[in-house]
Amino acid sequence: MRIIPAIDLIHGRCVRLYQGDYKKATQVADDPEAQLQRFIDSGAEMVHIVDLDGARTGLPEQLPLIAALCSQSSIPIEVGGGIRNLQTVERYLEAGVSRVVLGTAAIEDKAFLQTALTQYGAAVAVGVDAKEGKVATRGWEKVTETDYLLFSKELETMGAQTIIFTDIAKDGTMAGPNLEAFQRLKTEVQCRIVASGGIRHMDDIQALSDIGIEEAIVGKAIYEGRIVLRGSRR
């Protein structure tokens, strides 16, 4: 199991949201560059960065900061939030991002999604963020009528190799991941499934590993010291 620590950015600050609510943002670190280095020093193999401003506006609001983080990083960085056209994908990859995560555009612009998957392959992941089983977009502020499992199966047919699944109701709550949803995804979809949302401690990591999940994005539990990166692989 590879544990991927998360850095969520609003106005250049590291924050955590509760159930995706921007009004419930808590600052968890002052300096993103220092936080990235702490993760690297702690043994992280990859870092997950979300441009929360970009997720709302549809623009790469934090691109200069993320480019600076990539330039200092000795490990791969994946980025999501506000990536809605090929130009933005290319700008992030040119800046040194190893994997871009498509969210809103993946469901709203299938032509762009297909082109990105075809052109960039494993460098493109798709974030499937669900609220009560329905896919949410635009910084989780809009909920569609699209079922998360059906959408994930469609992504597989389009050639997606990696899906990052988040149950929004679990995100930031420290209530444990939605193991049932991850079990269904792992059983019915052949893509790599990355877990996100609600992970509290190593028992949750082990439960996900037992299902067959190989990567998990962890935020609050790492910032609160409940999960440590060094020696965390099992």
What token pair was written down for 60?
Answer: 């790469």
The catalytic position among 8, 167, 171, 204 is 8
Pick the catalytic residue: 51, 53, 129, 171?
129
- Residue 101 CA to residue 106 CA, distance in Å, equals 9
| Distance between CA atoms of residues 95 and 77, nearest Å | 11
Contact 121, 161 (CB under 8 A): yes
**Residue ranges of E strands in the chain:** 2-10, 13-18, 21-29, 47-51, 77-80, 99-102, 124-131, 134-137, 142-147, 162-167, 192-196, 215-218
- For the question of residue 51 being annotated catalytic, the response is no
Q: Is the dihedral of CA 45, 91, 161, 49 positive or negative?
A: positive
The closest alpha carbon to 140, from 49, 22, 51, belongs to 22
Active site residue 8: yes
CA separation for the pair 98, 75 (Å, rounded): 9
CB 120 within 8 A of CB 89: yes
Distances (CA, A) of 37 to 4, 70, 100, 130, 197: 14, 11, 21, 31, 23
Report the catalytic residues: 8, 129
